[in-house]
């Protein structure tokens, strides 16, 4: 009865662990879908927005100044190539775990140059990094700058843009400021771009804030703690999964051993009758740390016929392989 209850408890724990694992996998799948959506919006969305502005400008200039319109069409063609490249990169990122190839300075410079070509506005940049940044932080800062410049390009009607990135050993500070028309936070609906920024910042245990009002531009501030992040990275999903797997294997081994004990009782009963169950449980009680092989050897002694004892051993030990 004690063994049976112990087995039942272990089985319940095993089922609970399996359920937790399924819930974790489902949550991970949801987070991955959100990540993919953000990547598509921030990369391809940015390129297509710039492309659309170039085409609109070229159309307006076509009958006024064809040569200038052609310049915008040439730029639009380049942006089309960029969009194709972004799609390929997104697909590649989904298939592999590529590390970040460019530094944060290089990434921000690229997105600023694109913004300058599209709007004619050259943002001022100040980047001060006292410590190397983790890849996920670099990606987050870069994508937030990219989305911010896309929004300024689409809505702000600004003439001046400032980008500040300051990182020490404790945190990273990002500020993007423009002198555009601003907007009312209470009236404007939060678009997917702003939502994506919030999700990125929250994922890194950071803070996100927007200061704006009609006629007074907009200031976006992001703070990401590096100390807390380093602590979190020590407990990665992989390490949790490894720990969970060890628990799962342990439970599975115990469950297997209980199943094997029932086989021993059933097979031994074929040779010596109903007393087999009592002898199996007594052997386990007297020697609680027996391996399966040792248990079979002890039980085979209870069978008086050597040939039958050998057959009993072979039948059970073959189940272990």
Angle at 133 between CA 130 and CA 137, to 5 degrees: 135
Taking only the tens place, the pLDDT of each residue in 202-215 is 888 899 999 998 99
Q: What is the pLDDT of residue 254?
A: 43
- Do 156 and 118 belong together in one domain? yes
- Do 242 and 211 belong together in one domain? no
Six-digit token pair at 313? 């051993």
**Of the residues 63, 79, 98, the one at which a domain ends:** 98
- Do 213 and 121 belong together in one domain? yes
Six-digit token pair at 309? 């004892």
- Do 73 and 140 belong together in one domain? no
Q: What is the pLDDT of residue 191?
A: 59
Six-digit token pair at 65? 């100044």
- Do 12 and 92 belong together in one domain? yes
Q: What is the pLDDT of residue 250?
A: 40
CATH number at residue 93: 1.20.5.1930
**How far is it, in rounded angstroms, from Cα 141 to Cα 175?**
10
**How far is it, in rounded angstroms, from Cα 50 to Cα 83?**
10
- Do 114 and 229 belong together in one domain? yes
Q: What is the pLDDT of residue 314?
A: 87
**How far is it, in rounded angstroms, from Cα 221 to Cα 197?**
11
Q: Tell if the pTM clears 0.85, that is, is over it.
A: no
8 Å CB contact between 204 and 231: no
Dmax over CA atoms of the chain, in Å, equals: 109
Q: Give how far Cα 165 sits from Cα of 122, 170, 182, 293, Å.
A: 17, 14, 22, 65
- Do 76 and 170 belong together in one domain? no
Taking only the tens place, the pLDDT of each residue in 237-295 is 444 445 444 444 343 444 446 778 888 888 888 888 877 787 888 888 777 777 888 88
Q: What is the pLDDT of residue 212?
A: 92
Residue 167's closest CA among 136, 130, 200? 130
**How far is it, in rounded angstroms, from Cα 21 to Cα 114?**
44
**H or E segment and range at residue 60:** helix 45-61
When divided into structural domains, the chain yields a total of 3
**pLDDT for residue 76 is more than 60:** yes
Taking only the tens place, the pLDDT of each residue in 216-249 is 999 999 999 997 555 545 444 444 445 444 444 3
- Do 123 and 82 belong together in one domain? no
CATH number at residue 169: 3.30.565.10
- Do 221 and 241 belong together in one domain? no
**Of the residues 184, 201, 233, the one at which a domain ends:** 233
- For residue 207, the cross-strand partners are 223
- Do 208 and 281 belong together in one domain? no
Q: Which band of pLDDT confidence, cut at 50, 70 and 90, is reported for residue 192?
A: low
**pLDDT for residue 144 is more than 90:** yes
For residue 293, what are the domain limits?
Answer: 237-320
- Do 114 and 227 belong together in one domain? yes
**Of the residues 180, 215, 233, the one at which a domain ends:** 233
The least confident of 77-91, 126-140, 263-277 is 77-91
- Do 196 and 260 belong together in one domain? no
Q: What is the pLDDT of residue 129?
A: 94
**pLDDT for residue 84 is more than 90:** no
Q: What is the pLDDT of residue 225?
A: 93
């Amino acid at each position: 009865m004690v063994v049976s209850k112990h087995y039942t408890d272990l089985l319940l724990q095993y089922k609970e662990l399996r359920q937790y694992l399924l819930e974790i996998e489902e949550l991970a799948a949801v987070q991955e879908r959100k990540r993919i959506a953000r990547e598509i919006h921030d990369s391809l969305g940015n390129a297509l927005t710039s492309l659309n502005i170039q085409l609109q400008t070229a159309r307006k200039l076509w009958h006024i100044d064809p040569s200038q319109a052609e310049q915008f069409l040439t730029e639009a063609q380049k942006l089309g190539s960029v969009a194709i490249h972004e799609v390929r990169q997104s697909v590649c990122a989904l298939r592999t775990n590529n590390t970040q190839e460019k530094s944060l300075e290089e990434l921000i410079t690229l997105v600023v140059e694109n913004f300058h070509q599209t709007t004619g506005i050259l943002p001022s940049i100040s980047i001060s990094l006292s410590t190397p940044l983790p890849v996920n932080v670099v990606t987050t800062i870069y994508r937030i700058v990219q989305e911010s410049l896309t929004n300024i390009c689409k809505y702000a009607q600004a003439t001046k843009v400032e980008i500040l990135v300051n990182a020490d050993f404790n945190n990273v500070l990002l500020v993007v400021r423009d002198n555009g028309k601003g907007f009312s936070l209470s009236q404007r609906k939060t678009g997917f771009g702003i939502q994506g920024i919030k999700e990125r910042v929250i994922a890194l245990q950071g803070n996100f804030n927007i200061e704006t009002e009609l006629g007074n531009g907009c200031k976006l501030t992001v703070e990401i703690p590096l100390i807390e992040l380093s602590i979190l990275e020590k407990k990665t999903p992989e390490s949790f999964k490894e720990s969970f797997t060890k628990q799962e294997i342990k439970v599975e081994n115990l469950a297997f051993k209980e199943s094997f004990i029932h086989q021993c009782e059933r097979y031994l009963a074929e040779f010596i009758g109903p007393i087999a169950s009592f002898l199996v449980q007594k052997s386990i009680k007297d020697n609680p740390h027996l391996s399966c092989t040792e248990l079979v050897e002890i039980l085979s002694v209870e069978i008086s016929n050597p040939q039958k004892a050998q057959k009993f051993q072979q039948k059970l030990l073959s189940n272990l392989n």
